[in-house]
Structure 1
Amino acid sequence: MSPVLAGVLQFLALFVALGLAYRPLGDYMARVYSCDKHLRVEKWVYKAIGANPSTEMRWPAYLRGVLAFSAVSVLFLYLMQRLQGSLPGSLGFV
């Protein structure tokens, strides 16, 4: 089989798979994003972080959230770099 034919068949297989999956996945996403009920775990997380899911977030609160997430992410990546030699799966190259 030539590489061009293999590529075309792969594209067609992907196109058919997406054609078959778009309706059920779209219905699922619409149901998930439009539901007003919150799971018990979600309620605990909202309570822990002090968020009210029924109100819209104003820009100062959004800015604080983005900056806090960024700070935690940078700290996590820094710690991963510092501890890279002792992490599981390390090849010992420090």
Structure 2
Amino acid sequence: MNTTEFKTAISEAKESLRGKTLTVKFVNGGTIKKLSFTSLKSFGNAILEMEKLGAGFGFIKVGNHIVERGIYKAADFQKVLNRGIWSEVTFLATTVK
């Protein structure tokens, strides 16, 4: 997914993302980093930095202490996010093409 589509999806869901842990699994070359954020501002700043590196973005899952639910399509993101009480949302950022 390109950066514009990703940012649009995040912007549309920002109220639903408040108060959750936002995790990004960042794949850069042979390195995978797990970055966690508790504020939308710090998450947004990290996304901008990854964008500068040429990263593409996607959705992985939502979860809480009982269950995790995968997100397979960008179109399903908002729907899955609103169909449960989630404490964590996990995203993918990768520079590997």
| Fold similarity call, TM over 0.5 | no
Larger RCO of the pair (alpha carbons < 8 Å, separation 6+): 2
- Hey, which of these two has a bigger chunk of strand by percent? 2
TM-score by length of 1: 0.22
Which structure has the larger Rg? 1
